[in-house]
Structure 1
Amino acid sequence: MIRMRGNRTTGEMIFDWSNVLVMLAICFLTIYPIWYVVVNSFNEGQDAMRGGIYWYPRAFSLDNYVAVFRNGGLMKAMGVTVSKTVIGTALHVLFTAMVAYAVSRKELIGRTLYMYMGTVTLFFGGGLIPYYLLIRDLGLLDSFWVYIIPAMFSFFDLIIFLAFFREIPEGMEEAAKIDGANDLKIFYRIVLPVSMPVVATIALFHGVYQWNDYFTAVIFTNNADLQPIQTFLYRIVALSGSNQIAAAVPENIVRKVTSQSVKLATMVVTTVPIVIAYPFLQKYFVKGFMIGSIKG
């Protein structure tokens, strides 16, 4: 016989507690690797080589972070990342929104053809070699604009904008046209102001992409002054960059750090900004996928 506790059966309580335990296990498996990296990054490098550090630093030290911040390349890479994230996100949102608004107009000639062409790009691509040749012919190799111009438009983001623009009452635009406003004024003074939820969503999508992108710099730039923070991290972790960082610090600190400890400290420095910002912006991801899915 199943006993009742309030309005819930024993089976429902078992199910709820099972869900709690599963979610706690998932949270632990997700959070602990990050915690492990942070703990070891604050531990003296030579001591960490002995192993056995799991929950807290055994020999607390900031030498790993001193080794990272004493290297001028990190700050320069951070500046490149911030610049390309801000500029790239602003231009991406503006350009994609303009194209989406044009496509949303029924009077646009060839609108259906443009949509078919864009849909094809969601499933098929030309490949890395043709893309590289295109970037080369456009003169974007070893240029800051290689981060900006190729990423100014996304058909996936256009679809999200399109779903939102189609829900804007046509009467608002008709009233503006009666008052003498042209399409450009309608877009900037009416459409964009009422579309701030979707603008924030797309800005978050692309901002996270720009911050995390390391592959573009690896393929299209050879200039160390143009590498973003994620490429800097990639070269630290995958290549021998940690030894170069250690060489830039005083000898008394070099004795206490190792290439592994410097890598861990660099990983923390490069990921902390986006980790702090992400929880506050997470709701926009959900809103972005829900835009246009429910209509009254």
Structure 2
Amino acid sequence: MVFALLFPGQGAQFRGMGNDLFPRYPGLTRFAADVLGYDLAALCRDDPDGVLARTRYTQPALFVVNALHTFEREHHERRRADYYLGHSLGEYNALLAAGAFDFETGLRLVAKRAELMDAASGGAMTAVMDAPEARLREIFAEHDVSGVDVAGYNTDQQLVIAAPDEVLRAAHAALQEHGVRFAPLRVSAPFHSRYMAPVRAEFEEFLRGFTFDVPHTPVIANTTGRPHRPDALVAALGEQLVSPVRWTDSVRHLLGEDPDLEYEEIGGQAVQRMVARIRQATPVATTESRE
């Protein structure tokens, strides 16, 4: 029976997260505060001025809280995973859990990623419901809307699109005219799209300053829906910034390994709900078709 451990990404944060963990890991909590330059425990507890919703703070906070949840799980010798899978930012927690880098390295990578992504602007993202990619392309072509990228394949029923602000406004108008449901996301830039190319270049240069280990457990890459190649980790993490999160493909890869896939999410239920929807929409493969 294949067992996967799942890690959520940006959007899973909430005020008070980690309150039960910080007192149990005071050393790591103080270390994280020293690296980040602010009191992470206080920020998560109080969320002053709503800063926990800002990418610069959201990503390091989630990374640390997810990491502490993982350490707590390992301390209690819970079932070992056959695969790790994280959604966007969660991929860094997956790589940490698999031993690709240590806590300090992961925190420094995430802090730099968050800083660069927070500084990006001039666009946003929108979740679109019950409209396949081909249908979206038809709608946008009909309304002469160009420049929209698919930034995430969350489930068969939900895609995420990204574009500059003026393009996204035109896309919203086109979707509304066709009765397609959508929900703008609270992000500051068109993440996981071509528009993040300058961020990718700077982040890859930063990544080259670190050494990574071969993961002891396969980690599914957001960009391919297949296990990371250890010799291509820098390129893959850079590519993640400009490519869609292929969550549906990633989950289907694991279901192809075992249709009875079992899974557990670290810290919540956001991504495991998506897994359940993908499983429901995935035909059960026969032994012959899997071979």
Query: TM (normalized to structure 1)?
Result: 0.26
Choose between structure 1 and 2 for higher RCO, CA contacts under 8 A separated by at least 6 residues.
1
Query: TM (normalized to structure 2)?
Result: 0.27
Greater per-residue helix proportion: 1
Larger CA Rg, structure 1 vs 2:
1
